[in-house]
Amino acid sequence: MIIITYTLSLLLLIYGLFAFKSEKRQQLESRVNAVLHVNKETMSQDEEKQSFSNRIIQPVWKRLKKNYQKNVSEEQIAAIELKLLQAGSPFGLTPVEYRFIQLALFLLLPGLVVVWALFGRLNTGVFLLFLLGSIVIARYLPMILIKKKIAERNNQALKELPDFLDLVTVSIEAGLGFDSALSKVVAKKEGVLSNEFQRCLEEMRLGKTRREALNGVRNRLVLDDVRALIGSIIQAEQLGIGMVQIMRVQSSEIRERRKQRAEEAAMKAPIKMLFPLILFIFPCIFIVLLGPAVIRFLGAF
């Protein structure tokens, strides 16, 4: 009897352990399934709330960019990226998106000309002329816009440079280091130079050396004054020259070069005014002065 009781107790204990483990496993699985079910419902609800662009267009666009990027060489991407950086990254364009825009123009503009020729009944010569013009525009229009943006950005940076240098020089004279002075001026002043040097400071925080970060600014701003300034800063860092002295010399030289550019533009103004005078103003003056005499002369005969 004792042996039977002991055996039953042992069997019940083993059964209880297995039942406890099974129940615990079932509870865990039910909780996991409940969480996964809630996540699936939440994800489906979030997908339903998203717009058509986020659900369909953007994934397809990313896939197209990824596939197109494989067919473009790294040298072309690097060259286009440098141009876009010099232009200030207009509209946040990437090199692949820039190439897509060129390709879209190549397809769109000649297509419009073909449609116009079909419905407008253009002559063959006119059609070929417009078709050639559309291809030329599609080829060079993005490049021209980028170059115009680069020129505008460089001119703006050239206007900001003397005042920016003065503020940095004053900050260094007040006891700040070069990086701290740049950070202080960038935080208080807006413009092209502030954005570029802000990016320079961020690159330095991410691990780049000061020389590499400053060379990045020199590559993004195609200006002789900026190149001379950054070259002087790098040279002063290598030779241990005082930064205040370098900044003062560069500021005076930049102001002198700006004065020379203004004098050069003033000397070019009379020559530029000569062509409108000859083409538009002088004929009007001749008509007013000689017109009555010519009318009387013709009336006499």
Residues 155-197: pLDDT tens digits? Answer: 999 888 888 888 888 888 888 888 888 888 898 888 888 899 9
Q: How confident is the model at residue 12 (pLDDT cuts 50, 70, 90)?
A: low
Asked whether the beta carbons of 153 and 232 are under 8 A apart, the reply is: no
Phi-psi domain of 277 (left: phi exceeds 0; alpha: psi -120 through 50; beta: other): alpha
b/e 130-151 (16+ beta carbons within 10 angstroms → b) = bbeebeeebeeebeeebeebbe
Q: How confident is the model at residue 6 (pLDDT cuts 50, 70, 90)?
A: very low
Secondary structure of residue 107 in the 3-state scheme:
helix
Q: What is the predicted pLDDT for the residue at 247? A: 84
Mean pLDDT of 42-66: 60
Which DSSP letter does residue 209 get?
-
* Residue 250 tokens, joined: 């560069």
Q: What is the predicted pLDDT for the residue at 241? A: 78
Which is more confident, 100 or 8?
Answer: 100
Q: What is the predicted pLDDT for the residue at 148? A: 92
Q: What is the predicted pLDDT for the residue at 38? A: 47
CA-wise closest residue to 87 among 140, 142, 165: 142
Position 80 pLDDT exceeds 80: yes
Interacting residues of 66 by C-beta distance below 8 A, sequence separation 6+: none
Top-confidence range, 2-16, 96-110, 115-129: 96-110
Q: How confident is the model at residue 149 (pLDDT cuts 50, 70, 90)?
A: very high
Mean pLDDT of 16-39: 63
pLDDT tens, 104-142?
Answer: 888 888 888 888 888 877 777 888 888 898 888 888 888
Query: What single letter denotes the amino acid at residue 213?
Result: A
pLDDT tens, 218-271?
Answer: 888 888 888 888 888 888 888 877 788 888 888 888 888 888 888 888 888 888
CA-wise closest residue to 225 among 198, 260, 195: 260
Q: What is the predicted pLDDT for the residue at 138? A: 87
Asked whether the beta carbons of 186 and 201 are under 8 A apart, the reply is: yes
Half-sphere exposure of 16 (CA within 13 A, CB side): 6
Mean pLDDT of 23-33: 70
* Residue 48 tokens, joined: 């339903």
